[in-house]
Amino acid sequence: MYTDIYFIGIGGIGMSAIARYYNFKGLKVSGYDKTPSDLTHALEAEGIEVHYEDNIDFVPKDIEHTLVVYTPAIPKDMGELVYVQEKGYRVIKRSRMLGEIAEGQSCLAVAGTHGKTTTSTMLAHLFQDSGEGCSAFLGGISKNYDTNLLVSRNPVIVAEADEFDRSFLQLFPEIAVITSMDADHLDIYGDESHIREAFKAFASQVKGTVIIKYGLDISQDDTEADILRYSFDNTEADFHAENLSQDKCGYFTFDLHYPGGVIEGCRTGIPGWVNVENGIAASAIALTYGLDPEKVKKGLASFQGVKRRFDIHVNTPECSYIDDYAHHPKEIAAAVSSMRNIFQGRKLTAVFQPHLYTRTRDFADEFAEALSKVDKLILLDIYPAREEPIPGVTSEIIFNKVKGPEKVLLTKEELMDYLRNEEIDTLITFGAGNIDRFIRPITELLTRK
């Protein structure tokens, strides 16, 4: 029986949710992270000890009663990780820990190379708002609940099934949705075919129903689970929207068609067509599970979104600013499309911080194509995360391919001074690195102008 849970990389969004869960359960929780953040400060405020230096003195010394959880984003030669492995602690990855928590509960999982965080957070909100309740481990901070963890006595767990490092293969859901299977994490998978194989393996582990975005290549040959399909507006899909209408602020109203009938007059609580699609995916799981259709409708309308997912910070007729976690070309293209749809006829400026050298190298052409759709691009240096530099791979390999009307290459240190001298109409910041540190100063700058 473990009394201590020690997290190496505790500030990660997935790691912190599990840390909060065990802190709630009354265990002694502590851990390491590389740098302080809003998330680590929140953990500390909740009574969890966090330190920021690689120092084995902070590791609990009771080997028998201490479980160590680590994220694969941590380097394999990191001192604390090497120490606990050599000393005989039980050491497991975050994904295995989530899999163990999910065992014995009805697991509802959301997988996909993009869309999974908003969709899983929407799904968790549908259960909470309905009164049914669920426990949820989310890949972002829910704006309805200001946390990435929900806890309930109801034995239903909502989990974001992460394809990085094949983590989602630790889950065996009752119901799952797959939103996308685009090439990504090629440092792990090598090529797109291996990514597709991994998603098919995930589908094969679903026990009840797997709900696939219409057009994805998963068939009954890949899984014994029942297969249903969802779509934004394709009427051949089992779940889809009809009679779509959009107001001047980008909010959609629609009729949701599902195998049991039609839910008329649904409205999304956050703007953009992408969020209608995410809402249909979340509703598909909820309705398949058996949630009341009218409660699903009510939950969709009251959903406030996820921090850093098409997150609106300023929205006036003179100036609008949205921040988004998008770090894959398809995500950027979808967000730009939503921006164009909502803010029609306005000048769109984008700030993008590439995430990982390998992703920049592997998708330079696709990034350039997506970013060429904005009116002005401000491109920052690559955020390396877990990677060492790759010779010849810099933001310039994207920058040189961008064909948009205006573009500029800056360091992070130059960004705020540059923006102070810019006339901003609509602005979006993209990236999965530390570009989030600019959200507050940019918001303050634009509200003062």
Mean pLDDT score, 436-444? 95
134 and 244 together in one domain: yes
52 and 111 together in one domain: no
C-alpha 279/C-alpha 426 separation (Å) is: 25
286 and 137 together in one domain: yes
Residue 336 backbone phi and psi in degrees, to 5:
-65, -40
pLDDT at residue number 187: 63
Decide if 364 contacts 329 (C-beta within 8 A).
no
Q: What is the pLDDT of residues 291-314, one digit of tens each?
A: 999 999 999 999 999 998 889 999
pLDDT at residue number 72: 86
Q: What is the pLDDT of residues 246-279, one digit of tens each?
A: 987 889 999 999 999 999 999 999 988 999 999 9
Residue at 412 is within a domain: yes
Where residue 231 sits, what CATH number does that domain have? 3.40.1190.10
278 and 150 together in one domain: yes
**pLDDT reading at 386 higher than 80:** no
- Residue 182 banded pLDDT, cuts 50, 70, 90: confident
pLDDT at residue number 316: 87
288 and 325 together in one domain: no
Residue 333 backbone phi and psi in degrees, to 5:
-60, -40
Tokens at residue 113, please? 């190379």
Average pLDDT score over the chain: 94
**pLDDT reading at 89 higher than 60:** yes
- Residue 166 banded pLDDT, cuts 50, 70, 90: confident
Sign of the alpha-carbon dihedral angle for 16, 22, 25, 26: negative
Mean pLDDT score, 143-150? 96
Which of 302, 327, 358 lies at the terminal end of a domain, its last residue?
A: 302
H helix intervals, 171-232:
186-189, 192-204
Write the DSSP symbol of residue 448: H
Where residue 364 sits, what CATH number does that domain have? 3.90.190.20
Residue at 98 is within a domain: no
* Percent of the chain surpassing pLDDT 70: 98
Sign of the alpha-carbon dihedral angle for 200, 205, 209, 213: negative
Residue at 227 is within a domain: yes
39 and 159 together in one domain: no
pLDDT at residue number 146: 94
pLDDT at residue number 188: 67
**pLDDT reading at 78 higher than 90:** yes
Range of the domain at 376: 311-448
User: Reduced to 3 states, what is the DSSP secondary structure of residue 180?
Assistant: coil
Residue at 127 is within a domain: yes
Which of 56, 72, 93 lies at the terminal end of a domain, its last residue?
A: 93
Q: Which of 4-13, 164-173, 381-390 has the highest mean pLDDT?
A: 4-13
Query: CA torsion angle for 127, 37, 275, 72 (degrees, to 10)?
Result: -80
Least confident of 111-125, 180-194, 210-224, 240-254: 180-194
Chain centroid to CA 294: 27
Where residue 87 sits, what CATH number does that domain have? 3.40.50.720
Q: What is the pTM of this model?
A: 0.85
If one counts every other C-beta atom within 10 angstroms of the C-beta of residue 269, the result is: 18
pLDDT at residue number 191: 76
H helix intervals, 303-405:
329-342, 357-362, 364-371, 396-399
Q: What is the pLDDT of residues 337-376, one digit of tens each?
A: 989 988 999 999 999 999 999 999 999 999 999 999 999 9
Sign of the alpha-carbon dihedral angle for 282, 287, 289, 294: positive
431 and 380 together in one domain: yes
C-alpha 275/C-alpha 252 separation (Å) is: 9
Mean pLDDT score, 2-21? 96
Chain centroid to CA 205: 22
Q: Per the structure, how many domains does the chain have?
A: 3
316 and 436 together in one domain: yes
